[in-house]
Amino acid sequence: MPVLGPQRQLLNPLNSTSPATPRLGLATNQTGPQCLEVSVPEGLFLSLGLVSLVENVLVVAAIIKNRNLHSPMYYFVCCLAVSDLLVSVSNVLETAVMLLLEAGALAPRAAVVQQLDDVIDVLICSSMVSSLCFLGAIAVDRYISIFYALRYHSLVTLPRAWRAIAAIWVASILASTLFIAYYNHAAVLLCLVSFFVAMLALMAVLYVHMLARACQHARGIARLHKRRRSTQQGFGLKGAATLTILLGTFLLCWGPFFLHLSLIVLCPQHPTCGCVFQNFHLFLTLIVCNAVVDPLIYAFRSQELRKTLQEV
């Protein structure tokens, strides 16, 4: 990770561009063609990080406070909030350090900046990996609760949930450490991309199967009560909308970042790929946006949790 003037471009193994500036326009890359470069103002980036921080701290506090929420499902939601919180904190810390170095408020000592850079990089990567893992864990938990409802409490016990949570955190830290150490190997980037594709496929299969079961259940109820067909269609549309929000948000917020990683392996020198690389800061912003949206999707929809938040 080379030093960029008085500052370091943190997460530089993934980023081939300079820090973003507050503008949207056409940028010319080294090979000549013009590219659409979307740059995010640092103030907006910091604001999103702070909003995510507040949201996820509230989720964690509510789950800790309310004993009715001390169940495996809410523990997974709590860990997702912690992961999203770390995503926001690490990215905000990175941006703040860069701004302080640019302003000369911090002495740019190479050794200190190198150590800080490595710590923040590991924190960012481990929080991203753990966030993806807990999104998958929540999908699996909901799937078991629907298809194995009678056996759910014997299958998803607190000891098993705690072991799964511990395994996810340990694996995330080890994987991020290896990634930072061997970031210049294409196999490492391909492993990360494969991990994202696997999580996307897992969530898509599980949620589509759950939607199909819910629609089947709704049709059975409609036949039992002889309701109109429009009621069934309305339920199906509502379920499809929910599924679209779940998977669409996941793909929109995480997809560009992992597309960036894929193109680093597939076409690092191609002019078109260079245009994608110039929007790296936008891709990080989308990940922070995901940390803002996750509590709205997975936590705040719970009536019990909302009630606890009002008390908090």
Distance CA(255)–CA(289), nearest Å, equals: 13
Spatial contact of 206 and 140, defined as CB atoms under 8 Å apart = yes
CA-based nearest residue to 73, from 152, 172, 130, 131: 152
Considering the domain boundaries, does residue 97 fall inside one?
yes
Q: Is residue 287 part of a domain?
A: yes
pLDDT tens digits, 144-200:
988 888 898 899 999 999 999 999 999 999 988 888 888 778 888 888 899 999 999
Could you state, in chain order, the average pLDDT of each consecutive group of 10 residues for the chain (312 residues)? Answer: 34 43 37 67 84 90 88 91 88 76 65 69 85 91 88 91 95 87 82 90 89 76 61 56 80 89 85 83 88 87 82 74
pLDDT in tens, 262-287: 888 888 888 888 888 888 888 888 88
Which pair of structure tokens corresponds to residue 243? Answer: 């599924």
Q: Computed from CA positions of residues 11, 254, 188, 31, in that sequence, does the dihedral angle turn out positive or negative?
A: negative
Q: Is residue 219 part of a domain?
A: yes
Q: How far apart are CA 252 and CA 255, in angstroms?
A: 6
The token pair that represents 189 in the structure block: 């980037």
Q: Quick check: is 259 in a domain?
A: yes
Range of 99's domain? 42-223+239-311
Contacts of 103 (CB under 8 A, 6+ apart): none
What is the residue whose two structure tokens read 């997974």? Answer: 76
Residue 48, domain CATH: 1.20.1070.10
- pTM value? 0.81
Comparing CA positions, the residue from 198, 177, 190, 69 lying closest to residue 133 is 198
Q: Report d(CA 69, CA 58) in Å as an integer.
A: 14
Domain assignment present for residue 102? The answer is yes
Is 65 a domain residue?
yes
Report whether 168 contacts 133 (CB < 8 A): yes
Domain count of the fold of the chain:
1
- The pair of structure tokens assigned to 216 is 């089947």
243 inside domain: yes
Q: Looking at this protein, which amino acid is placed at residue 49?
A: G
What is the Cα–Cα distance from 13 to 183, expressed in whole angstroms? Answer: 6
pLDDT for 6 equals 28
Angle at 275 between CA 274 and CA 276, to 5 degrees: 90
- Specify if 233 maps to a domain: no
